[in-house]
Structure 1
Amino acid sequence: MNNLLGLLRIRIKRGVNLAIRDLNSSDPYVVVKMGKQKLKTRVIYNDVNPEWNEDLTLSITDPNLTVLLTVYDHDTFTKDDKMGDAEFEITPYVNALSMDLHDLPCGTIVTTIQPSRDNCLAEASRVIWSDGKLVQDIVLRLKHVECGEVEVQLQWIDLPGSKCLGFFLVGY
């Protein structure tokens, strides 16, 4: 992992109006994939508006890879049902990190990413300076399903000895 830039903490906050895949509800969980990495949340039973508030951490070696988030309905005796997916890029967030910002007032908006046909954003996503760190709140509209959104938050974890982000991004 000599190309490790740092760690990206993805907080899977909650799902909103997720699809019903069982009798009257669903048992959702989230799978996050980036490159060869794959992580998943715990299952929340009988809830189409689940609150996970669970942190998943990805090792970042290439900030240009997209993150694929897929929601599934847990089933005991059959294959789990897919409840939609969404993908998002971390490039705007990583670019904000490379600005080397310090001492900004809490709540300062560093950049805003608008929803478009090319992304799964349900609303504008802002990268904000909060308590000495950059965070990005994202509301993702799920694709390939009749309804549902997932709210996530990105936060960077610096590692001692990792490559400098600013230097790394210049080559891209």
Structure 2
Amino acid sequence: MAAAAAAILKLHISKGTDLAVRDMWTSDPYVVVRLGHQKVKTRVVKNNLNPVWDEDLTLFVPHSEPLVLKLEVFDKDRMSKDDQMGNGEVDLGDLASAARMLKTSPAQSLAMKNKEGSPCIKCVDGHMVQQVFLDLQNVESGQLELHIKWVDFTH
């Protein structure tokens, strides 16, 4: 039996910037997002190294789940295995902590930075939201922009 869910993550995958070429001159990118055993993905944007997905995805966060969001970008191929275009991780620990703080001190104004000093975590409409600019790893270039909203079930 699966663990009870502690929260929902609402992801908004905005866009990719300066993604790697994996076909002749371009790529057909899509993003795969994993949290524990869950996997969701965006649609494919054809022939574009700066795709705009503007797509919403949802994942459940069980109490026992590690709080690391894993993202991979692939180039869709028709006749062969899809090519990797980079990957990265987002540690959700600070976002989860901010959500717990909001639950225990709802009147407190929250704005905090994660350990690396970049994506800002803030309270928007009673939920903690983190904007992330993720530089892709294991690839020559590329960045993803996404927004992560933590929706606590007990909120």
Q: Measure how far apart 1:24 and its partner are.
A: 1.3
More strand by share: 2
Q: Give, in angstroms, the shift of residue 133 of structure 1.
A: 2.5
**Structure 1 residues 19-98: aligned runs within 5 Å:** 19-61=20-62, 62=64, 64-98=66-100
**C-alpha spacing 1:131/1:65, structure 2 compared with 1 (3 Å):** closer
Partner of residue 5, structure 2: 4
Distance 1:84 1:102 in 2: 38
- 1-side partners of 2:16 and 2:115: how far apart? 21
Kept after mapping to 2: 8 A contact 1:63/1:94: no
Identity %: 36
SS of the residue aligned with 2:95?
A: helix
Shift in Å, 1:111: 1.0
Q: By how many angstroms is 1:130 displaced?
A: 2.1
Alpha-carbon deviation of 1:103?
4.9
2:136 is matched with which residue: 142, 147, 151? Answer: 142
Label 1:35 to 1:64 Cα distance change in 2 as closer, same or farther (>3 A).
closer
Question: 1:109–1:128: 8 Å Cα contact kept in structure 2?
Answer: yes
- Measure how far apart 1:68 and its partner are: 0.9
5+ residue gaps, structure 1: 116-122, 165-172
What TM-score do you get using the length of structure 1 for normalisation? 0.80
Give the number of aligned pairs. 151
Aligned-CA RMSD value: 1.9
TM-score (norm. length: structure 2): 0.88
Provide the rounded CA distance (Å) in 2 between the counterparts of 1:16 and 1:109: 30
Partner of 1:102: 106
Aligned to 1:131: 125
CA contact (8 A) 1:109 1:126 kept: no
Q: Find the aligned partners of 1:143 and 1:30 in 2 and give their Cα distance.
A: 14
Code of the aligned partner of 2:5:
L
Return 5+ residue gaps in structure 2 as ranges.
none
